[in-house]
Structure 1
Amino acid sequence: MTALFDPRDPAVRTDPYPIYRRLREADPVHQSHFGYWVLSRYADVDAVLRAPGVSSEFYRNQVWAERRGGLDSPLVRSVRNWMLMLDGPAHRRIRGVLGKVFTRGAVERLRPRVTAEADRLLDAMGDGEADLIESLALPLPVTVTCELLGLPTDNRVQCRQWTEQISRVIDPSITAADVAEMNRAETEFREYVTGELDRRRAAPTDDILSLLLHTEVDGVRLTDHEIIANVLFLFVAGHETTVNLVGNGVLALLRHPDQLQLLRENPELMPGAVEEITRYDAPVQIVSRLLDEEVVLDDAVLPAGAKVMLLFGAANRDPARYSHPESLDVTRTGIKTLAFSGGPHYCLGAALGKMETAVVLTKLLRRYGKMELSGEELRWRSNVSFRGLERLPLRLLR
């Protein structure tokens, strides 16, 4: 019998939305043979994100930890300190420090730097044939994250490679080879950031690493291990979401030329268009939670001890929440996308990612009078939790 939802199915990477639709219609509170409850309706996903007694501390699950190298592996030791994987006071403590980096004012102060870097990358990309992912969508957020943290930008390629490898930690379809690669990458990244922290102690500077070293919450400073783990988390969150949001957004607009033209003619629609792009093809598709307490939904009860897989991509196209959800509409209002999670774990960097995407799309539409797909077959990355293209080959004309 074919599973109704199998994260290992190649179609979940290439085009998950027909699968999501069947799941919503046939079994929206689905008990999979993988041991997870799988939720695909907007209201159910939103309810679990906000419910008390719902945990992100997946490292507590022995099977989950063993599949990633075990509790004492470099990767799991790191993840145990990620803000994303903490609940309650421990989560609030680290979020209280990192939240100072991502205030609305702090994000807006980054806009001139993001704009200048986008211009530099576009100048280098030029006209004609280009891969938007490699030339623009990948390097921009990595450079911004390096500069935000105070890390040398000449190491951004290596930081990107480490991040891409480690980001698969939340993926439900990892292999033994992935686990070995992730643990090696975590060890190398930790050694690199440890050296940077030592330099800040010897000669403090006005950057985020120095802030993390010296800021106290309730009289207690973050440990080096907490700092390094959350620097890694910021790279994973900032890099993976933004590159996918830019790539998925450009592809969606190219496949909906009427919406692309509408955005060209009405650039003031850009903020709402970014929200719609985020809803339409979310950069983060799947997250999971552990239930420490029972959660009651409208027509189902999830028991304490359950593992739950939340399908953001399915929820964002739920017709009970959005009219004509399969259509891209840059004039759509009332969007409250779940692409950046919700509740206490709403993504701190969401505003930065959306600002970077708006800058890139605005620059592309101003610079190029014509953008089209080159005709090369599109390939999606193997990570099913983060949805993004390996390449986006385009023809760009002034």
Structure 2
Amino acid sequence: MGQPGLTTQAKLAGTFVKDLYVAKAKTQYAARVQHGPLAQAIVWPGKLNPYPFYDRVRDMAPILPLPREAKVHVASGHAVCRQVLKSHDFGVGGRTIVGKDAFEFSMSLLEMDPPEHTRLRRVAAPAFAASRLGGYATAIEKIVHERLDDVEPGATFDLIDQLAAPLPIRIISELLGVPDVDERRFLRWGTALGSALEGPHGLWHAKKILDAKTGLDAMFERIVQQRRADPRDDMISMLVAEEGAAVRSEEILPLCVLLLVAGFETTVNLIGNAVLALMRNPEQWQLLVKDPTLAARVVEETLRYDPPIQFTDRIAQRDSVIEGYEVPAGHRVLCLLAAANRDPARFERPNFFDITRTDIDHLAFSGGVHYCVGAPLARLEAQIALRVLAERMPKLHPGGPPRRRSSVTIRGLRSLPVTEAH
């Protein structure tokens, strides 16, 4: 029997907690029981520098099975993670983020393997093609200049609030076809949904995610109806044009939500992490100031050195062997992308932030069929933002202590005070 007095929304939130929390809880429990270094990074998300813990995990073995009951293996070596991400023996099938009773939380492409994944990706990918994004370069640069124009000379400002967050929100809104975007509301909703990737922290968090999803669904539903009657040159119109063919009607809203979250979550954290690394390594900042064309290198080095997405997971679709380790069918492999990106077996001086590095074989955008579809847009936005920032504010330096987001999966900043004042 259902609990009396609960609203439908609260019941859905309860279902969401149950479905989304299981895998996270198993991994946490197993790591704590084992007293391994991974447990410390999980217990204090955002409070500690996770990279020493990643080093300790990787030193134990490139792939490390947790206690048998968890059915989880932690991969931290670059070669191991790359093999898992690219292998057809591993997929996302069976790791469903939510149960079928809470479909409104579905993140679409994130839960699909081929051929369904291939079908939807073919529809979404053209919006992020280099040929299409080239037309956004001017708009991106204009927004960056506008945001920096609003900063008083010598003032201390929050780089996240002033630049890193508004930029991708405005661009992804334009790409999707969202008119008159409320940046604050978009940021709140998108951040809430992004936090769903690692599980809720309780009923209050689940309801916060549910409220965000409900608000976004209502907004996108209105726009979809408008585009059915009056199509335009935007992503939502492209999805509507494929409705009934490559895209089922019930897939449009989840795909819109996924594209929104993916379109800004990575970029805001990429820009923030890049500027923080540059501020903590002033000699690297000076290299960028002297040669702003190094912005592309800064982006790639940041993706390697301090990636926005710290890990992802895959499920063994059949009994597999990875680097000599047996992974039974149905077992989860947690790929520590951030650990793989600092694997000394793959990179020289992996713990040094070096924007002149030419070896950029990182795994920040995952790999295989689930390689991030929005990677070209994130790169373009971050490159332009960093170049313009270096050109306009060459004396930029820290203006106060940064605040990290409290998250295990997503590594980013709540705030990053910076200034040009002496």
SS at match of 1:320: coil
Q: Verify the 8 A CA contact 1:102 1:349 in the aligned structure 2.
A: yes
* Unmatched tracts of structure 1, length 5 or more: none
Match of 2:311 in 1: 286
The answer to which of 342-351 and 154-163 deviates more is: 154-163
- Cα gap change, 1:112 to 1:266, in 2 (>3 Å): same
Residue from 44, 51, 65 that aligns with 2:80: 44
Match of 2:111 in 1: 85
Report the Cα distance in structure 1 between the residues aligned to 2:120 and 2:93, rounded to whole angstroms: 14
Report the Cα distance in structure 1 between the residues aligned to 2:45 and 2:110, rounded to whole angstroms: 27
Match of 2:415 in 1: 391
Report the Cα distance in structure 2 between the residues aligned to 1:42 and 1:385, rounded to whole angstroms: 18
Residue from 54, 61, 72 that aligns with 1:27: 61
Match of 2:397 in 1: 372
- Cα gap change, 1:182 to 1:172, in 2 (>3 Å): closer
Q: Verify the 8 A CA contact 1:74 1:187 in the aligned structure 2.
A: no
Residue from 150, 167, 171 that aligns with 1:144: 171
Report the Cα distance in structure 2 between the residues aligned to 1:18 and 1:166, rounded to whole angstroms: 29
Report the Cα distance in structure 1 between the residues aligned to 2:315 and 2:205, rounded to whole angstroms: 23
Q: Report deviation, 1:59.
A: 4.9
Match of 2:192 in 1: 165
SS at match of 1:37: strand
SS at match of 1:390: strand
Report the Cα distance in structure 1 between the residues aligned to 2:387 and 2:137, rounded to whole angstroms: 13
Match runs of 1:122-141 below 5 Å: 122-127=148-153, 128-141=155-168
The percentage of aligned residue pairs carrying the same residue is 35
Match of 1:3 in 2: 36
Report the Cα distance in structure 1 between the residues aligned to 2:174 and 2:252, rounded to whole angstroms: 16
TM-score, structure 2 length as denominator? 0.87
Q: Report deviation, 1:168.
A: 1.8
Q: Report deviation, 1:83.
A: 1.3
SS at match of 2:406: coil
1:177 aligns with 2:204: yes
- Cα gap change, 1:183 to 1:27, in 2 (>3 Å): same
Match of 2:221 in 1: 194
Q: Deviations over 1:74-113 (max 9, x none)?
A: 544x23xx11221011101111111111111111111001
Residue from 115, 127, 145 that aligns with 2:141: 115
Residue from 53, 63, 68 that aligns with 2:89: 53
Report the Cα distance in structure 1 between the residues aligned to 2:336 and 2:47, rounded to whole angstroms: 13
Q: Report deviation, 1:365.
A: 0.7
Q: Verify the 8 A CA contact 1:12 1:19 in the aligned structure 2.
A: no
- Amino acid paired to 2:361: K
Q: Verify the 8 A CA contact 2:310 2:409 in the aligned structure 1.
A: yes
SS at match of 1:141: helix
Report the Cα distance in structure 2 between the residues aligned to 1:113 and 1:303, rounded to whole angstroms: 49
Report the Cα distance in structure 2 between the residues aligned to 1:157 and 1:352, rounded to whole angstroms: 21
- Amino acid paired to 2:418: L
SS at match of 2:115: helix
SS at match of 2:156: strand
The answer to which of 352-361 and 170-179 deviates more is: 170-179
Q: Verify the 8 A CA contact 2:46 2:405 in the aligned structure 1.
A: no
SS at match of 2:42: coil
Q: Verify the 8 A CA contact 1:368 1:397 in the aligned structure 2.
A: no
- Cα gap change, 1:374 to 1:150, in 2 (>3 Å): same
Q: Verify the 8 A CA contact 2:147 2:162 in the aligned structure 1.
A: yes
1:253 aligns with 2:278: yes
Report the Cα distance in structure 2 between the residues aligned to 1:145 and 1:307, rounded to whole angstroms: 32
SS at match of 1:384: coil
1:335 aligns with 2:369: no
Q: Verify the 8 A CA contact 1:13 1:383 in the aligned structure 2.
A: no
Q: Deviations over 1:259-308 (max 9, x none)?
A: 11112122232222211111110011111111111232223121111011
Q: Deviations over 1:196-236 (max 9, x none)?
A: 111112222222211110137xx814233211111111111
Match of 2:254 in 1: 229
For this pair of structures, how many residues does the alignment match?
385
Q: Report deviation, 1:156.
A: 3.1
- Cα gap change, 1:58 to 1:130, in 2 (>3 Å): farther
Report the Cα distance in structure 2 between the residues aligned to 1:295 and 1:320, rounded to whole angstroms: 23
Residue from 101, 125, 139 that aligns with 1:72: 101
Match of 2:5 in 1: none
Pairwise CA RMSD of aligned residues?
Answer: 1.9
TM-score, structure 1 length as denominator? 0.92
- Cα gap change, 1:286 to 1:209, in 2 (>3 Å): same
Q: Deviations over 1:225-264 (max 9, x none)?
A: 2111111111111211000000000000111111111121
Q: Report deviation, 1:12.
A: 5.7
